[in-house]
Amino acid sequence: MLISRRRFLSSTALAGAGAALGACSLTKTPTGYSVTVNVAEADAWAQAFKNAATLVLAIPAFTSVASAAVIAGIDTAVGLVATDIGVIDKAASGQVTITLQTTGVKDALSSLLTAGNQIISLAQGVVPTITDSTEAQTVTQYLAAASTLASVLSALLASASVSLATSAVKPDVVTQRAAYRTLRVVAPANL
């Protein structure tokens, strides 16, 4: 069953400020704060971005109007997603959580967000040229779901960058679960 674009987009509205980020925890240390990231959440973000690209590129109405440069840009971004999550998984060494202070982790998460946003942006530029309204709506749903998860990652990075003095705005748990479902990714257990 497809939900209407309006209903899906309204379900992805951001929750109010002050919600704790489920993907991380904050610990006060003698030198400041330490942010711990759930590795399963990072893996799920990466898989969601890859799936968004794969699902969008599987829609004939999209690929028939997308330029070769757009398709190549999306493919390049998917490659970056794979590289970034590889860095995070290697740094985690099989652990369930990892701190942002671990060498390369914050940069890899930031790059993951950039790649995810690149997939979204490139694909959104094609949507107005899709003549099949049903397929255009499907592409829009995938991109809205990916945008929801990108906003979660953005909130995590923003809160870490501001010395965790302020809470970042992020989508609520129900919205996050819906976004994962739309992109055919099993939501992390912490949601």
Model confidence at 21, in pLDDT bands (50, 70, 90)?
very low
All structural domains of the chain with their residue ranges:
41-88+107-182
Distance CA 178, CA 191 (A): 11
pLDDT of residue 17 exceeding 50 = no
The percent of residues in the chain predicted with pLDDT above 70, rounded, is 76
pLDDT at 172: 81
pLDDT tens for 65-89 read: 999 999 999 999 999 999 999 999 9
Angle at Cα 160 formed by Cα 24 and Cα 21, nearest 5°? 30
Contact (CB, 8 A) for 14 and 81: no
